[in-house]
Structure formats: C-alpha cells, structure tokens
C-alpha cells in the first residue's frame, strides 16, 4: 500500500530528545511527500481528535528543547476497548495510514495492542529516560538523564566530602537500574543498589564501618527507585552504623533539560528510520540501534 498520511505522537513520561524525534519525523515525512499530522497529548489526543497537520515550521526551534511540544500524558482510557475504538475512529476519519509512537515500554505495549487489534501500522521510536526497551541498546533521553543526575551527584559529592557524611541518592528508572548504574560508575560512587542484582545492605554497612575506621570520610550510595526508597536505606544505614546518613531523591529533574548531542542525533536518526519503516510497509515494529546497528525489532519483543 502506498501511504500518504502519517501521524506522530509522544506518550508516557517525557524524555529529552522527544522534540528532536518529532522534528525528524515531520521533516523527513514531508521530504518523502507524506502529509504528517501531530497528535497532542499522546493516546488521549488520538481518542479525542486533538491533532493537526504539521508543516516544516511547526517544528522549528525545538531541536534543543527538553520535554515535548506535542505534550504527553499517561492515558488509562487507551487501555480500554472503548478508548481504543474511539482512537480508531480518529484514524479512519483522518485517513491516517501509519502511526509513529514516540515513548517507552508502556507506549510500545499500547501501540502493539492497538495496532494488532485494528490493523493500524504502528512504529515505535524508543524515548524514555529508563532505557528499558528489550533488544535496543539505548533509548532517546537516557543519556541526557544520566548526565543530569551525574551533575547532581557531583554537587552532592562536594558537600558529602566537606561535611564528612554518607549520602543515599535515589534516581529514577522504574524497574530498570540503568540510570543508577551509569551514574554510580561515572560519579565514582561507593555503592549502587539496582533491581537487577540482590542487595546486601549488611555488607554495605560493614564496609562503611570498616572504611570509617580507616579514615574514609564520605560515601555516596546510589539507589534505583525500582528497588528501594533512599529514605529507608539511609535510615537503615544510620541504625546499623551509627553514622549520620542523608537521603536525596533526584526525582523529576532527571526528566527535563536540554537534550545532549547524543540524545538529539539518536532522535534524528530514529525519526527518519521510523518514517522509512512505515513507507516500506513496516508495522508493529520499533526502530533502534542494537550492538551499534540500526534495526527494526518486533514490538512484542521490545516490550
């Protein structure tokens, strides 16, 4: 089938670089003689017919902005039959031949279920700070989030060293320990607690006490939100070691900010790849890099 019109949306948690991906889809789509519609607020916009035709200028000046100009939302209604039915009405009404969904794991699950049920060609672009898409090396936004969290940890290091304190820093990532591991390595942190590996807090406390006896003055322990709360870990360390321990939750600051060069260029490449995938008849796919090569992965494998 020759496709004429595609739509693009961003869904789930925003990630820095989503705008660069939207820009790439719109401009490359137009370059390939497609009409491109932008859908606002993710699946919600598809259900409620909040969409418009985008021209090249609609995506001017956004490549360097965090967040998403299309807005995004978590949309439980899209998990219902009624919600998906209404979204399909929009697809028919606007004669949309293919949909590009920019988002993370939850977005891909929704695209997979909707696309198969209503026979709509859906292609996913992985964009999430969590980097939790199967079969794809790295998601748009995770590099930026890591650098944001790292900069915060570097700041914490200054005060931890000066005041001779132990800090437990909680980072985002949902069920994934990717951000935690990367910032712990890059920040020279003493310990990292991630969902992928069993944590031995007793051993950590033992190391802290021994280190303290040798004159070691400060510690930074990074904890992924998917495994424990920083407050609980800090309280346990204080109780076991008798040493003052502070907790910091980095939270949503990790989701914002200007995308790094890596997040932007990844977004540009994947935006183009998603449009090519739809033109070539691809459906139910995610585009991304795997071991450095540009690939298309079945959505059911990716989620």
Subset of residues 108 to 167 that bind ligand F6P, contact rule: CB under 6 A:
128-130
Query: Does residue 178 sit in helix, strand or coil?
Result: helix
Among 23, 41, 109, 174, binds ligand F6P (CB under 6 A): 174
Question: What is the smallest separation between the CB atom of 174 and ligand F6P, expressed in angstroms?
Answer: 4
Query: Does residue 136 sit in helix, strand or coil?
Result: coil
When the beta carbons of 245 and 254 are compared against ligand F6P, the nearer one is 254
Q: Per-residue contact track with ligand F6P, 78 to 107, x per CB under 6 A?
A: --------------------------x---
Cα angle for residues 184, 186, 191 (degrees, 5° grid): 25
Please count the residues of this chain forming the interface with ligand F6P, following the rule CB under 6 A.
11
Give the distance, in angstroms, between the CA of residue 162 and the centroid of all CA atoms in the same chain. 34
Task: List residues bridging with 115 in a β-sheet.
Answer: none
Decide if 149 contacts 254 (C-beta within 8 A). Answer: yes
Stretch that binds ligand F6P, among 29-37, 155-163, 170-178, 229-237 (CB under 6 A): 170-178
Question: What is the smallest separation between the CB atom of 119 and ligand F6P, expressed in angstroms?
Answer: 28
Subset of residues 40 to 79 that bind ligand F6P, contact rule: CB under 6 A:
74
For the record, the structure tokens of 275 come out as 């449009």
Q: Per-residue contact track with ligand F6P, 213 to 232, x per CB under 6 A?
A: ------------x-------
Give the DSSP H or E segment for 45. Answer: helix 43-47
Question: What is the smallest separation between the CB atom of 129 and ligand F6P, expressed in angstroms?
Answer: 5
| Annotation says 105 is catalytic | no
Q: Which residues contact 114 (CB under 8 A, 6 or more apart)?
A: 78, 84, 87, 88, 120, 122
When the beta carbons of 27 and 71 are compared against ligand F6P, the nearer one is 71
When the beta carbons of 173 and 288 are compared against ligand F6P, the nearer one is 173
Question: What is the smallest separation between the CB atom of 79 and ligand F6P, expressed in angstroms?
Answer: 15
DSSP 257: S
Subset of residues 234 to 253 that bind ligand F6P, contact rule: CB under 6 A:
none
Q: Per-residue contact track with ligand F6P, 2 to 41, x per CB under 6 A?
A: -----------x----------------------------
When the beta carbons of 129 and 286 are compared against ligand F6P, the nearer one is 129
What is the C-alpha end-to-end distance of the chain, expressed in Å?
27
Q: Which among 247, 47, 71, 274 has a CA at the least distance from the CA of 160?
A: 247
Q: Which strands make up the sheet holding 285-290, listed edge to edge?
A: 51-54, 35-39, 5-10, 98-103, 121-126, 285-290, 293-298
Residue of 130, 132, 143, 284 with catalytic role: 130
Q: How many C-beta atoms lie closer than 10 Å to residue 50's C-beta?
A: 17
Indicate which residues carry an active-site annotation. 130
Would you tell me which residues interact with ligand F6P (CB under 6 A)? 13, 74, 104, 128-130, 172-174, 225, 255
């Amino acid at each position: 089938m020759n496709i004429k019109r595609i739509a693009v949306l961003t869904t789930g948690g925003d990630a820095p670089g989503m705008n660069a991906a939207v820009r790439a889809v719109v401009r490359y789509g137009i370059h390939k003689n497609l009409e491109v519609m932008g859908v606002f607020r993710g699946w919600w916009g598809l259900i409620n017919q909040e969409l418009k035709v985008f021209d090249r200028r609609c995506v001017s000046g956004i490549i360097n902005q965090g967040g998403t100009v299309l807005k995004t939302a978590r949309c439980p209604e899209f998990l219902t039959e009624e919600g998906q039915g209404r979204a399909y009405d929009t697809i028919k009404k606007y004669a949309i031949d293919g949909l590009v969904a920019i988002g993370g794991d939850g977005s891909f699950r929704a695209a997979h279920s909707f696309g198969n049920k209503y026979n709509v060609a859906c292609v996913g672009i992985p964009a999430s700070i969590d980097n939790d898409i199967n079969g794809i090396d790295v998601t748009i936004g995770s590099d930026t989030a890591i650098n944001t969290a790292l900069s915060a940890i570097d700041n914490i290091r200054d005060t931890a060293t000066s005041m001779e304190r132990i800090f437990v820093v909680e980072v985002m990532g949902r069920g994934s320990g990717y951000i935690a591991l990367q910032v712990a390595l890059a920040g020279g942190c003493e310990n990292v607690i991630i969902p992928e590996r069993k944590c031995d807090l007793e051993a950590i406390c033992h190391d802290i006490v021994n280190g303290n006896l040798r004159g070691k003055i400060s510690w930074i322990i990074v904890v992924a939100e998917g495994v424990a709360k920083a407050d609980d870990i800090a309280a346990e360390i204080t109780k076991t070691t008798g040493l003052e321990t502070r907790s910091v939750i980095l939270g949503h600051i990790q989701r914002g900010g200007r995308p790094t060069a890596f997040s932007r260029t990844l977004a540009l490449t994947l935006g183009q790849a998603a449009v090519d995938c739809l033109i070539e008849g691809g459906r139910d796919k995610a585009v991304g890099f795997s071991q450095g090569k540009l690939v298309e992965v079945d959505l059911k494998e990716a989620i």
